[in-house]
Structure 1
Amino acid sequence: MRDLSKLVKAYDIRGLVGDEMDTEFVREVGAAFALLVGTSVALLHDMRPSSEPFAIAFADGVTSQGHNVIFCGLGSTDLVYYAAGHLNVAGAVITASHNPARYNGIKLCKPGAAPVGQDTGLADIRRTLENGIPEYRGTPGRITRHDLSHDYAAYLRELVNLSHIRPLRVVVDAANGMGGHMVPIVFDGLPLEVTPMYFELDGTFPNHEANPLDPANLVDLQHKVREVGADIGLAFDGDADRCFVVDENGVPVPPSVIVALIATRELVKTPGASIVYNVITSRAVPEIVTEHGGTPARTRVGHTYMKSLMAQEDAVFGGEHSGHYYFRDFWRADTGMLAAMHVLAALGTSDQPMSALVAQYSRYVASGEINSEVADTTATLATIEKHFEGAETDHLDGLTVQLDGGAWFNLRPSNTEPLLRLNVEAADAETMTRIRDDVLALVRGLPAEPSSE
């Protein structure tokens, strides 16, 4: 039996093709998932070389347990959420999202796009795989084909009307991922002059990795936006469920700023609604939500926690620092495409350039996420908390410490590695840098530099 702890992650199943994942394993996952959900499964796959064979194997696993498969072909991860919500069936997409080419994986959801994570199904699937798939003696399920991509596009365009915005010049970097397939369908006929970058579907990612969270993967987009004089640039990750934005000067717009921008739009439609954000989102988000009459609700990092709190609060919208944006009107699932459309609508109904539009939502200076390898994450967190004894702290997700002047930092452990992830925010760059360096010195066992104050 292979080591499933390396494959069954917190929110999905993911591993190296051949070494850790093969068609037989994927077939077994399909069978185990069918046993978990007990219903039909909408199935999609991305453009990686192994994805279509894996999709065929997964479908075989589902039908071997007597359940039907609605095979939707190529599609983004948020397309499977649309299928699961619209058809009220379970969903699966074969993708490794932003991971390098040698990886593949499986993202799953229950009917209505309800999340499947460790506590909501993945642990059960792992146990089934470890115990062996029970023999099924009934009639196998059937496979039907149904392309939902145009229905999905029409639904998004109902949620955000872009037909009357001013014409915009938009550069889109699809990173050879599923954005190259979905953007032409969704943007067709809209007042958008699109300059496409790397729209050719190629799961080997010949131009750059499909991870826009890494600044190195935005360089080409930034250059092209400036070169063509575009109004905005959009970068999608490999499975196109996340979208990152750069302004007309090629400057990246922090996801927290996008969270605040979209939140204000949703609060116009639903006054007083709840907006969910996570512990490392900028404190500008709850401030702006409150100023616009909404109710901010704070949760742990991760889509399972985001969706759970959104359901509990009946929140209209939720956003994370990582570029995941969740919408009540989209079955509380995350969709980079709908987030991009909100941003385009905001820009297209404003006479300001993108840089000026987003400036009102940007109030603080953030460090970005910094990883440190430590021998014992629990002991290190305890040491840091003791060092800052007297400051306001909470343990919603790792350790958050509130400091003077509204500055704060969060240290949280990785789910899978002996790492602590640090995020710092302050009113100015000097304060942020000082706090960042002091905390890193403590975490990494080095003497802290004496304060200049």
Structure 2
Amino acid sequence: MQIAQVLDKIVKAYDVRGLSPQELSPEVATRLGAAFALWLRENDLGAKVVIAGDMRPSTPALIDALADGITAQGLDVLVAGLSSTDQLYFASGDLRLPGIQVTASHNPATYNGMKLCRAMAAPIGADSGLADIKALAARELAPAATRGRRSEIDTLQAYADHLHALVPLSAIRPLKIVVDAGNGMAGLTAPVVLGRTTATIVPMYFELDGSFPNHPADPLNPDNLVDLQEAVRAQQADLGLAFDGDADRCFVVDEHGDPVSPSAITALIADRELAKAPGQTVVHNVITSKTVPEVVSAAGGIPSRTKVGHSNMKARMAQTNAVFGGEHSAHYYFRDFFFADTGMLAAMHVLAALGEQDGPLSQLVARYDRYAASGEINSTVADTSAALRAVRAHAEQRGARIDDLDGITADFPDGAWFNVRPSNTEPLLRLNVEARDADRMSALRDEMLALIRR
């Protein structure tokens, strides 16, 4: 496969992701590193880059290849080694440098990838530089007259210091927490960050192992929460935390082992952030529960709704100077964390909220979990455009108010709503439904699935 064909396959809308080394090889990484460096140089965006990576077996070779490509173009490289993605974002913000995290996040062990950012963790997507970097990587780039230098740094302690400055946990009551790192990067970060608290940490799968021997590091899939849920019950713990492979997302289960909706976590954190910064904006996406804008408005904040996806969230955060943002995929974004997403800081907010009062987590989050939700349901369809037209006509006939911010969102007079949006990369439609009670939600869900799959 030619380099241009490989790049077409692995350079996505928001990041780089592919089989490694079959697609994302060291040779391709060298090309991408050189292209990134040249793009930075041509746009006067920095003369030094910080690189880090996850625990996948292919990561060290890709880091070395990136460093070779970047230094060949005359830029210096700081290699931060093993890091969670939010730890790399911290390094980019703290050092005011552009950065690259080598990771495939929650993807299977056969994959690897890269997340690129400008200085201060500002995102780079297809429309903000990634397409240009891809085009440069397809060319044979002449090296700079002077090669840049490579050096090593360690950012873990500074990252932990920053998080504890934002959410001090020294005064909370003792808690028992089961943490499932999924053999991902939380196995490195959780002991350092959460080890500073009075909490008793029960570790699960903290060994860094990119082959994921216990379960995939994707807590969005309920199957991958089962071990954590059982451990929380067996340990009689106060809560459980599950991180994805690169530890930028965090999922929460309560003392009963029941999953807590990421929308409820978003609302809880929004309440806390608005108590510190009254009147500020909180960003949420189109599939987040209605609870979120309700809580934000009740707390005197300004809810701001945007499309699904981290680049959309980060862009809206920056536009509105939002204090916080949350997605139903368990990405949580903080102004005080360079507008970037960090699962660990979200977890610390939950620990602080729980530890500052005496009740159980299930009771604490009940006020933020007001509706019945379907979760996201994918359907393969032959013609997504025709299916969306049918969805729109059906909803309008039933008196729904329609908006087109991201796919089709239909709001019904009784408070029920659904969103149907197409996948960017596959012939899929993604359905989310919410209603005031489970019966209405189930009925609307089944009605829409029958229409979509007809």
Task: Report the TM-score, using the length of structure 1 for normalisation.
Answer: 0.97
Q: Is this contact kept in 1: 2:34–2:137, CA < 8 A? A: no
Which residue of the partner structure matches residue 403 of structure 1?
A: 412
Equivalent residue letter for 1:226: R
Which residue of the partner structure matches residue 63 of structure 2?
A: 55
Q: Is this contact kept in 2: 1:243–1:323, CA < 8 A? A: yes
Equivalent in 377, 380, 384 of residue 387 of structure 2:
380
What per-residue deviation string (whole Å, max 9, x for no partner) do you get for residues 203-245 of structure 1? 0000000000000000000000000110010000000000000
Equivalent residue letter for 1:160: V
Q: Is this contact kept in 2: 1:171–1:234, CA < 8 A? A: yes
Q: Is this contact kept in 2: 1:31–1:133, CA < 8 A? A: no
Q: Is this contact kept in 2: 1:248–1:354, CA < 8 A? A: yes
Q: Is this contact kept in 2: 1:179–1:199, CA < 8 A? A: yes
Which residue of the partner structure matches residue 19 of structure 2?
A: 16
Which residue of the partner structure matches residue 161 of structure 2?
A: 154
**How many equivalent residue pairs?**
444
Equivalent in 298, 301, 318 of residue 294 of structure 1:
301
Partners of 1:73 and 1:306 in 2: how far apart?
27
Q: Is this contact kept in 1: 2:21–2:58, CA < 8 A? A: no
What per-residue deviation string (whole Å, max 9, x for no partner) do you get for residues 141-190 of structure 1? 10111101100100000000000100000000000000000011112231
**SS of equivalent residue, structure 1 residue 124:** helix
Q: Is this contact kept in 1: 2:233–2:257, CA < 8 A? A: yes
**Alignment RMSD:** 0.8
CA deviation after TM superposition for structure 1 residue 312, in Å: 1.1
Superposed counterparts of 1:103-122, under 5 Å = 103-122=111-130
CA deviation after TM superposition for structure 1 residue 33, in Å: 1.0
What per-residue deviation string (whole Å, max 9, x for no partner) do you get for residues 18-38 of structure 1? 221111001111111111223
Q: Does 1:426 align with 2:435?
A: yes
What per-residue deviation string (whole Å, max 9, x for no partner) do you get for residues 305-363 of structure 1? 11111111110000000000000000000000000000000000011100000001010
Q: Does 1:5 align with 2:8?
A: yes
Q: Does 1:366 align with 2:373?
A: yes
**SS of equivalent residue, structure 2 residue 414:** helix
Q: Is this contact kept in 1: 2:284–2:326, CA < 8 A? A: yes
Partners of 1:189 and 1:119 in 2: how far apart?
40
Equivalent in 138, 144, 152 of residue 145 of structure 1:
152
Q: Is this contact kept in 2: 1:32–1:133, CA < 8 A? A: no
Identity of aligned residues (%): 59
Equivalent residue letter for 1:87: L
**SS of equivalent residue, structure 1 residue 406:** coil
Which residue of the partner structure matches residue 449 of structure 1?
A: none
Partners of 2:174 and 2:312 in 1: how far apart?
38
Partners of 1:209 and 1:51 in 2: how far apart?
18
Partners of 2:39 and 2:287 in 1: how far apart?
33
Equivalent residue letter for 1:58: L
Q: Does 1:211 align with 2:218?
A: yes
Which residue of the partner structure matches residue 337 of structure 2?
A: 330
Equivalent residue letter for 2:380: E
Partners of 1:152 and 1:47 in 2: how far apart?
18
Instruction: List runs of 5+ in structure 2 lacking aligned partners.
Output: none
Partners of 1:358 and 1:183 in 2: how far apart?
23
Partners of 1:18 and 1:94 in 2: how far apart?
13
Partners of 1:75 and 1:65 in 2: how far apart?
25
Partners of 1:231 and 1:5 in 2: how far apart?
46
Which residue of the partner structure matches residue 403 of structure 2?
A: 394
Q: Is this contact kept in 1: 2:72–2:144, CA < 8 A? A: no
CA deviation after TM superposition for structure 1 residue 404, in Å: 2.6
Superposed counterparts of 1:42-441, under 5 Å = 42-130=50-138, 132-389=139-396, 390-441=399-450
Q: Is this contact kept in 1: 2:283–2:306, CA < 8 A? A: yes
Task: Report the TM-score, using the length of structure 2 for normalisation.
Answer: 0.97
Q: Mean Cα displacement is larger for which, 1-10 or 56-65?
A: 1-10
